[in-house]
């Protein structure tokens, strides 16, 4: 798929074909697209938890402020900041590292299309409760959750205002 087309075609998917499994190799490829993202100082201070277990996905969906569709996604990718070296960026480190993770998240959402998948960036997430829920793996600072699955939606793409720029 052409890169430009993939960028323009991407949209948030909030309805998924239920009860589908996403192949582990596909998930691995998508995560690797995340790893390819630009990131501050190339410190790669991110960590992605892939949640396949249905029961856990259901519990997570209950922590997304009534976004029920989240439970129907075939996989959840919890995108976190981990191992931040504050010595290099000081106070800005946190700010930088969140941006790193969101760059990776966008790569992954774009890459989903290559596999006929779609996804939604979930920011509305009770991070404290998700952290408690996944206590076994001790998730570090959660930036967002990607709900990914095979699209089953008829939603049009959202509109964009293409005037928000100025060439100086
Ligand atoms: C920081 C951030 C948080 C978001 N949180 C949510 C969310 O909790 N639930 C949701 O359905 N969409 C969420 N979105 C997706 C936006 O609603 C969506 O990207 C926007 O409406 C534009 O639509 P499009 O992605 O289809 O182009 C979030 C996006 C970003 C960047």
Show the tokens assigned to 150.
Answer: 């095979």
Q: Which atom of ligand 1 is nearest to the CA of 160?
A: 27
Q: Which atom of ligand 1 is nearest to the CA of 64?
A: 8
What parts of the chain have a pLDDT lower than 70?
1, 136-139
Give the pLDDT score at 94: 83
Give the pLDDT score at 72: 96
Angstrom distances, CA of residue 41 to CA of 94, 104, 107, 134, 159: 13, 14, 18, 29, 34
Q: What is the pLDDT of residues 119-135, one digit of tens each?
A: 999 999 999 999 999 87
Lining ligand 1 with CB less than 6 A are: 11-12, 14, 67, 120-124, 158
Q: How far apart are CA 18 and CA 33, in angstroms?
A: 25
Domains and CATH numbers, the chain: 13-149 (3.40.109.10)
Q: What is the pLDDT of residues 63-95, one digit of tens each?
A: 999 999 999 999 999 999 987 777 788 878 888
State the distance from the centre of ligand 1 to the C-alpha of 37, rounded, in angstroms.
Answer: 19
């Amino acid at each position: 798929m052409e890169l430009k087309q993939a960028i323009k075609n991407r949209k948030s998917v909030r309805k998924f074909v239920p009860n589908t499994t996403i192949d582990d190799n596909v998930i691995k490829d998508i995560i690797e697209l995340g790893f390819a993202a630009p990131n501050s100082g190339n410190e790669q201070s991110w960590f992605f938890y892939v949640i396949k277990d249905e029961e856990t996905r259901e519990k997570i969906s209950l922590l997304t402020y009534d976004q029920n569709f989240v439970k129907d996604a075939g996989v959840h990718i919890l995108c976190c900041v981990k191992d931040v070296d504050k010595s290099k960026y000081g106070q800005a480190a946190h700010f930088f590292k969140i941006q790193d993770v969101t760059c990776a998240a966008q790569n992954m959402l774009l890459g989903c299309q290559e596999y006929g998948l779609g996804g939604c960036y979930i920011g509305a997430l009770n991070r404290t409760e998700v952290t408690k829920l996944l206590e076994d793996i001790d998730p570090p600072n959660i930036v967002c959750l990607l709900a990914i699955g095979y699209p089953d939606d008829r939603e049009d793409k959202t509109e964009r205002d293409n005037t928000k720029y100025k060439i100086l």
